[in-house]
Structure 1
């Protein structure tokens, strides 16, 4: 099976797929998913050369177990990224971190917890070394230097190859990078959330750090297929999906669907191609439960958008155009 284009992730970093695969969707947050089809989709992503993105909190560890199953039967050598920091065990302590979605997360970045989380992820993944390890969120009660210092010792011990941060500020990135080189920062980035362009991306480019864009399709909105949500859908927490905001966003972004039709590509491919045109240091990680959608996403790598099309897209989906608050 042919692998997709590979580019370096950060300064002196590993070669990874131009588009990655976000495995969170396999835990039922956006609709039902069975383990057997989930493993098949993961194998397809691995064999296509996509970076697999997970977290210990996805399915309370179940996501990492699915990846372990896929790794055993995939033909290609996988590149697996996972995260720690969100406490999903009610017996563990942590610091409450409010979100913009009406709930709080419990975060723990203490050295003791970080070490415990690493060993648990290694065991679930069934590997000796994690390719890329992120702090999912930083613990507000623990200095970033303390958390990243513990992460750096994991690199020194051979348990981790590269370090990343997720959902962080420019100042936190600079402080962390002084402790240990950071190869990737994960942040929400798409046509309906472009705040990363203001301060985050310039800082990353100054430091030689790649941006891994989570939710590059706006949680599915930019596929043009979302009309309503089932009762148990995780996106019901998202203010951008409230009935009033959803209607406003559909009206605002509908011209993107017209552009996709004119180019004879899907709206999802248009959104991903736009992201890829933002720089070779931007790596989207869309998720899908279906193998055919995975292939559709991968095909976005080969789509060229000329300056005229990019200008039209930027006018329609200008920064701040989306109605509704963001997660963090």
Structure 2
């Protein structure tokens, strides 16, 4: 089969690799596609991925092979799944924090195991409702369901972050950074009853997508007071109950602490590649809750599929580019341009 193989800093080549084979506990998917994630971009740009790694962990596909001991899954099922394959034995796994497994980065799909920029994908130890999940039927048929399935993994990242924010009716929220996860966090906050939900991003494209989803937006380039002014106009207060920081820009962490109300919650869900400077006393004096949010759980996946199936969260508007597997290098380069892209989807069928 054909797959996109990492071959060094800034370089992915489409090559012939062996077809995957399901063991007794495994399944193999005929992949519909795989999204390009910010973590993929970070490894692509820095060269930190392992040479020879098939990348890609935002996948969906149709089952073509089922191991003899797998239960509840049959050929033809449309699935997505968690890329993380926890070890089950480290201290975090034993404490019930498998999504924070100490060893997952060397034994998971696209992190040690072959990933989703390929025609087929092997999923080890497949357990329905745990590490693999059946896609809901959607208007538009199988193609629409599979395309939406490629957005479920990043949606589950957003769902996990919103869960940590304790979102609910009557609470105001700000999302800084309107990439895929930021847009999905904003939609999830709205689905939880938060109002208003305000998205902040310098990209006109990303703000336009957000506005089409019913999210109030702010262009941060117009001035430092723009966000506080918008909050005041909508709520009568210049502070928000919740801030989800999804940009990955270290300077915005300090800004998030400033804009959240006393005893409000700031959730950091982005990847940060440089240190951030904050004024700790600003958090201390106002008893701000500052939380990190990492990875996903099976519960996050289940909730995400419910949000997609009910129509509470839209996925199609987030896909700015669709490119075939043979153009995977171009897909990564397109995703690098944050102002001109939201989600770049690499299609394999």
* Structure with a larger share of its residues in strand: 2
Same fold (TM over 0.5): no
Structure with max Cα Rg: 2
TM-score by length of 1: 0.28
TM-score scaled by length of structure 2: 0.27
